Structure 1
Amino acid sequence: MTARKIPLIPTLFILPSILFLGLFIYFPLVQNLYNSFFQFSVFSPTKEFVGFASFQQLLQDKVIVAAFINNVKYAVISVFFQVFFALVLATILEDKVFRRIAPALRVIYFMPVMISISVIALLFTFVYNPQMGLLNSFLELIGLENLAVPWLGNATTAIYAVIAMSQWQSIGFITMLFIVAIQKIPKDLYEAADIDGAGKIRKFFNITVPQVKETMFVNVLITVTGSILVFNEPFILTGGGPGFSSTTLSVLMYEQGFGKDNMGYASVIATLIFVLSAIFALIQIRVSGTGKDD
């Protein structure tokens, strides 16, 4: 029995991607896990082995719990707006009623995606300004001045203000992905539903949603993973404050590593972020059953 030869050409094609993943993904993961067992400074030439001491510190750190809860809030709200609401928005834009103005609306919704997060954070700093901000001015204009608060300076509202900014920027991207998926749905399905007398809502739940299941899975995966890794929005807009009210795991990791020069504990937090991302991704794959034949 002859040994099976490995095809040369396909191997050469996939070799660069394997090397890239190994060098920039898997090696840093292993190196970060290794660093988790040491205590060291970013400028220190030596590392002090501490074993599982940093992991024990992680279990006793109350800030970790607060940061994780903020990430969960981020994920839940983002899934609702960036996935379910974006699907509804994409369905409306693909409706015959909006066919003439749909291209312009797509551009309007997608424009925030192309703007730098730093510029958007600066813009929303003015929006949330307690004295002259657009949001509080609007609330006062419509007679709801009692709801006007310092959105970024209030421990209760800070995280929600950051999340709202993120939804404004990101919903256009997810909407465009759904639009592409909806355009690939066979028109015969909708024509048959029209013959049966189905309304728009029934066609949405019985045709559109099942037909974009794969795209929905991808969008949920992108949204949840992004919510666990989120750093730019809270760091630029609030710096994680006031206190730790808007701190996320990534912001806390940055503060420990580069603010307090505690690279060992920062590595532990990075390991936690990776584990959580992997767990949520596996759960989503398991629950969605994507890729399986119906």
Structure 2
Amino acid sequence: MRAISRRALGLAWVIPALVLVAVFVYLPLVQNFEFSTLKWDIYSGSQEFVGLDNYRKLLDDPVFWSSFGNNVLYALVSIAFQVFGALVLAALIESIRSDRWRRSLRAIYFIPSAISMTVAGLLFYFIYEPNLGPLNHLLKAAGLGSLAQAWLGQESTAMSAIIAMSQWQGFGYSTLLFAVAIQRIPAEIYGAAAIDGTGPVRRFVHVTVPLVREMTGLMTMVTISGAFQVFNEVMVMTSGGPNNSTQVLGTWLYRSGFVRNNFGYAAAIATVIFVITLAIAVAQLVVTRRRRVEW
């Protein structure tokens, strides 16, 4: 009886959470797929079942594919800076002997991450401003006036400018996580490597990198997943322009639904984003389990 009562008590605590998750997570996912099979004018309320036509339109939509490409580019650059670059920086910081300097550098690099993405976007919108922005003024002062340009006003530079801002904003957070992972490595291992005459570069390659691989894998998956959910920075800085060159899946979803009044098509884009992020999450679980089994 006691075992049954404990099990019943446990279910009593779990069921409310399951109900909330079902209502606010799983039910909207099912509804979203249902909406993606409709041609839906939200202003008139008219709905027409079109099956998989919205998904067929995705395949022929050049803006969708350019948006997908921008997300992929965002993910690749983020992996380079927020995973591998952050790991190198964290190793450099943790190699400093002074505890005061280590703490100070961690705080300095983390400050941009404490700024909201909207505020960071507005800040860099001003920095990139071609006439009053400090970036072009600095380039001219350094004798590089030929490089000064309308960074957010040209298709060739707008997406790169947005990605640069997002890397600045998220770099410190990744560095701090890697610093924590490095701190968990036993000092005896580094001591043994030093006794063997291993230099700092070899210690990083053969000691630090292998022993933080779980954090590296986690950060890689989180970074890729976040890259396919980008929205705020693009909306604040360019709203997808110029000429849709900075559209990402999130902003194209918003524009399709709330500007072009095609909510069925927007729901199809949302389904694609969900499938991509779900695949990344499943891959993360599989890789994590394999590594734990190996260990």
* Smaller-chain TM-score bracket: over 0.9
Q: Partners in 2 of 1:13 and 1:113 — Cα distance?
A: 36
The AA in structure 2 aligned to 1:74 is Y
2:184 matched to which residue of 1? 184
1:62 matched to which residue of 2? 62
**Greater mean deviation of Cα atoms: 15-24 or 142-151:** 15-24
Q: Partners in 2 of 1:234 and 1:226 — Cα distance?
A: 14
The AA in structure 1 aligned to 2:272 is L
Q: Partners in 2 of 1:49 and 1:133 — Cα distance?
A: 50
Deviation of 1:15 after TM superposition, in Å, equals 3.5
Q: Partners in 1 of 2:291 and 2:217 — Cα distance?
A: 7
| CA deviation string 1:208-235 (max 9, x = no partner) | 1111111111111111001001000111
The AA in structure 2 aligned to 1:241 is G
Unpaired segments of 5 or more residues in structure 2?
none
1:91 matched to which residue of 2? 91
1:114 matched to which residue of 2? 114
1:209 matched to which residue of 2? 209
2:293 matched to which residue of 1? 292
Q: Partners in 1 of 2:23 and 2:214 — Cα distance?
A: 30
**Greater mean deviation of Cα atoms: 281-290 or 152-161:** 281-290
Mapping of 1:136-147 within 5 angstroms? 136-147=136-147
Deviation of 1:12 after TM superposition, in Å, equals 4.1
Q: Partners in 1 of 2:43 and 2:25 — Cα distance?
A: 24
**If the length of structure 1 is used for normalisation, what is the TM-score?**
0.93
2:268 matched to which residue of 1? 268
Deviation of 1:10 after TM superposition, in Å, equals 4.2
**If the length of structure 2 is used for normalisation, what is the TM-score?**
0.92
Alignment check: 8 A CA contact 1:92 1:98 kept? no
1:35 matched to which residue of 2? 35
Alignment check: 8 A CA contact 1:67 1:246 kept? yes
2:195 matched to which residue of 1? 195
| CA deviation string 1:29-88 (max 9, x = no partner) | 111011111111234445211111111111111111100010011000001101111111
Q: Partners in 2 of 1:98 and 1:91 — Cα distance?
A: 14
2:168 matched to which residue of 1? 168
Classify 1:287/1:144 alpha carbon distance in 2 versus 1 (closer, same or farther; 3 Å).
farther
2:156 matched to which residue of 1? 156
SS of structure 1 residue aligned to 2:202: helix
Aligned positions, number: 291
Identity %: 43
SS of structure 2 residue aligned to 1:96: coil
SS of structure 2 residue aligned to 1:279: helix
